[in-house]
């Protein structure tokens, strides 16, 4: 009897693991709508061609979606009488962008599929990958089959999104709370190899930090005054439209734009990995792809949970 119980227990554990592993699959839309992924790629490529900054914006949407109650498209929902939009959270307000591109993708995908079969959460995951590829970065197989949430939480977004002012222990803890380790933290922070940041976010660092190259600080102060110019933009690394290792090379030279960037190379436990990535693009690309898949697997809604939204901005 004991062995039978043992067998059943093992079988149950295996089935539970299998259910988790098989709930998301890169082939999820292969039969129901094989045109879906090419349609997403086409629109992302056009959007990034129009405005290179859009690649970083779309990557960031997926990241900021996944960190708030999992990758469920909750970030895309506008405020209603039932909840306030995550777009209004501290780490998102007047900062996250690219929603019009997501709307455009959704309309096109629903058109080619003949009905709404692709979730907004999956659109974010695929658009993030396609954006990285469009800017010369690595590709990976995006696991698919996420469904969309029917609610959002500004207060949760306020408490869980990492801040640009965090030090290394805070960053490690923030990522650990999402099931992500230090390697994931450094690799995913490498997403800052593309894109721009606003003066208000990095002002304190360029005027007050001691772990900053003085020439770099002076250069940044030219377009980011002590007062005013809050929305003035500066590149996160010298090649903001190319997915390369310049971000990590900059950190080694104490030229990280954000406090949370330089924290990764400041005499702490992540220094060695930053140095590795700065010299080895292949190592960075491999780890970035693995960490993106891992992040994309944070608490997805699958099966009958959630819904497939008709409009990414509102619940059906």
Give me the chain's average pLDDT, please. Answer: 94
Q: Is there a single domain that holds both residue 131 and residue 57?
A: yes
Q: Is residue 152 part of a domain?
A: yes
CATH at 142:
1.10.520.10
Q: Which residues are designated catalytic?
A: 64
What pLDDT is recorded for position 4?
54
Indicate if the pLDDT at residue 38 is higher than 90: yes
Question: Is 167 among the annotated ligand-binding positions?
Answer: no
Predicted TM-score (pTM) of the model is: 0.92
pLDDT in tens, 185-212: 999 999 999 999 999 999 999 999 999 9
Residue that finishes a domain, picked among 123, 146, 161? 161
85 and 155 in a single domain? The answer is: yes
Final residue of a domain: which of 109, 129, 161?
161
CA neighbor of 270 nearest in space, from 196, 124, 170, 149: 170
**Per-residue confidence band for 13, with pLDDT thresholds at 50, 70 and 90:** very low
* Residue 130 in marked binding region: no
Rounded Cα distance between 252 and 247, Å, is 9
pLDDT confidence tier of residue 18, bands split at 50, 70 and 90: very low
pLDDT attached to residue 23: 82
What CA–CA distance (Å, rounded) separates 83 from 68?
14
Q: Is 74 annotated as a binding residue?
A: yes
> Domain range spanning residue 52?
24-161
Evaluate whether 72 touches 277 at the Cβ level (below 8 Å). no
Q: Do 242 and 132 fall within a single domain?
A: no
**pLDDT attached to residue 268:** 97
pLDDT reported for residue 147: 97
* Same structural domain, 141 and 218: no
17 pLDDT above the threshold of 70: no
**Which of 118, 139, 161 is the last residue before a domain boundary?**
161
What's the number of domains the chain is made of? 2
Is 187 found in the same domain as 140? Answer: no
| pLDDT tens string 88-126 | 999 999 999 999 999 999 999 999 999 999 999 999 999
Query: How many other CB atoms are there within 10 angstroms of residue 88's CB atom?
Result: 15
Residue 267 among known ligand-binding residues: no
8 within a domain of the structure (yes/no): no
User: Do 40 and 136 belong together in one domain?
Assistant: yes
- List the end-to-end C-alpha distance of the chain, in Å, as a whole number: 50
Residue 56: left if φ>0, alpha if ψ -120 to 50, beta else—which one? Answer: alpha
Q: How confident is the model at residue 33 (pLDDT cuts 50, 70, 90)?
A: very high
């Amino acid at each position: 009897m004991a062995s039978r119980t043992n067998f059943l227990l093992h079988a149950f554990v295996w089935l539970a693991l299998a259910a988790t592993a098989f709930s998301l699959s890169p082939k999820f839309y292969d039969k129901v709508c094989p045109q879906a992924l090419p349609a997403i790629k086409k629109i992302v490529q056009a959007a990034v061609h129009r405005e290179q900054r859009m690649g970083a914006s779309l990557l960031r949407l997926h990241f900021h979606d996944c960190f708030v109650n999992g990758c469920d498209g909750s970030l895309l929902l506008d405020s209603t009488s039932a909840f306030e939009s995550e777009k209004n959270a501290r780490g998102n307000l007047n900062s996250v962008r690219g929603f019009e591109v997501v709307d455009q993708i959704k309309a096109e995908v629903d058109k080619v599929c003949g009905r709404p079969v692709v979730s907004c959460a999956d659109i974010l995951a695929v658009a993030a990958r396609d954006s990285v590829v469009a800017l010369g970065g690595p590709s990976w197989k995006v696991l698919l089959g996420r469904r969309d949430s029917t609610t959002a939480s500004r207060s949760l977004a306020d408490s869980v999104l990492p801040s640009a002012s965090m030090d290394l222990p805070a960053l490690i803890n923030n990522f650990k709370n999402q099931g992500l380790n230090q390697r994931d933290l450094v690799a995913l922070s490498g997403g800052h190899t593309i894109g721009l940041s606003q003066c208000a976010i990095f002002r304190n660092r360029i005027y007050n930090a001691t772990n900053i190259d003085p020439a770099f600080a002076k250069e940044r102060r030219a377009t980011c005054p002590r007062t005013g110019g809050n929305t003035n933009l500066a590149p996160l690394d010298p090649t903001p439209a190319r997915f390369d290792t310049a971000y990590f090379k900059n950190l080694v030279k104490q030229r990280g734009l954000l406090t949370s960037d330089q924290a990764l190379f400041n005499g702490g436990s992540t220094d060695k990995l930053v140095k590795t990535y700065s010299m080895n693009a292949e190592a960075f690309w491999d780890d970035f792809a693995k960490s993106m898949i891992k992040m994309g697997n944070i608490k997805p809604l699958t099966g009958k949970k959630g819904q497939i939204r008709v409009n990414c901005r509102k619940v059906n």
